[in-house]
Amino acid sequence: MVHALLSFAVVAGLLTIVPGLDTALVLRAAVIRNRQHAFATALGIGSGTLIWGAAAAVGASALLTASDLAYTTLRIVGAIYLIWMGIGMLRGALHRSQATIGSRENDSARTVLGAWARGAGTNLLNPKVGVFYMAMIPQFIPVDAPHLPMGIALAALHNLEGMLWFTANILAAGSAKTWLGRNQVRRTLDALTGTVLIAFGMKLATDRG
């Protein structure tokens, strides 16, 4: 079991540090809003990871590989969600003023919950995450180990690595807050993140497998 955990940690760790959609969302939250929202986004992404890990351990995510309809449905819903978020960020980049930014940074706890939901939704509505876990987790579960607890343990390990990576990014963004906090830089970051989301969404919508 220890060997399985260590082997999975190496594979998951390498995948964690590859720049992607999750890192872009966390960095945007750290710069556009604050560390609280960034960590809430990261925890949302981690929550999605744990759910996918549990689903893969019990074989539920096998539905994505066995059923074209299930995979296509989740793929289209996920693509629409990403494109919708991306368009919202592009609109914000075009119309946001410094006053608007300041008011958003003082949002209530409900907005923090929204940041968590955004992270979780982005993760859960991406069928490729489910397919990845379905392909990877069973390979690292020892024959004599209970599937559900072991699957959750592997997902939790990946989650821990992800949180460490996100924390490093959030702290780095915080140290450069003076420069990154400029209105023009924030608008540029919103435009870049929005473009990335739309690109991911379009790729997801047109990807057949």
Q: Which tokens hold the place of 168?
A: 């490093």
> Which has more pLDDT, 109 or 42?
42
In this model, does residue 209 exceed pLDDT 60? no
Cα-based distances in Å from 159 to 13, 45, 86, 122, 170:
10, 8, 25, 15, 16
Q: Which tokens hold the place of 146?
A: 């209970």
Domain ranges of the chain: 2-11+21-206
Q: What is the pLDDT of residue 60?
A: 61
Mean pLDDT of 91-101: 59
> Contact 135/55 with Cβ under 8 angstroms?
no
Going by pLDDT thresholds of 50, 70 and 90, the confidence category of residue 54 is confident
The mean of the pLDDT values for the chain is 78
How do residues 57-78 score in pLDDT, each as one tens digit? 776 656 656 667 777 777 788 7
pLDDT > 70 fraction of the chain, expressed in percent and rounded:
81
Is this structure's pTM higher than 0.75?
A: no
In this model, does residue 107 exceed pLDDT 50? no
Q: What is the pLDDT of residue 57?
A: 75
> Contact 35/169 with Cβ under 8 angstroms?
no
Q: Which tokens hold the place of 126?
A: 């991406």
Query: CA–CA separation, 187 vs 98, rounded Å?
Result: 10
How do residues 143-185 score in pLDDT, each as one tens digit? 777 877 888 888 889 899 999 999 998 988 876 665 655 666 6
Let me know the angle formed at the C-alpha of 109 by 191 and 91, rounded to the nearest 5 degrees.
20
Instruction: Tell me, letter by letter, the H, E, C secondary structure of 137-164.
Output: HHHHCCCCCCHHHHHHHHHHHHHHHHHH
> Contact 41/26 with Cβ under 8 angstroms?
yes
Mean pLDDT of 114-128: 87
In this model, does residue 41 exceed pLDDT 90? yes
Query: CA–CA separation, 87 vs 75, rounded Å?
Result: 18
Mean pLDDT of 23-27: 87
- Contact partners, residue 187, CB within 8 Å, separation at least 6: 92, 93, 94, 96
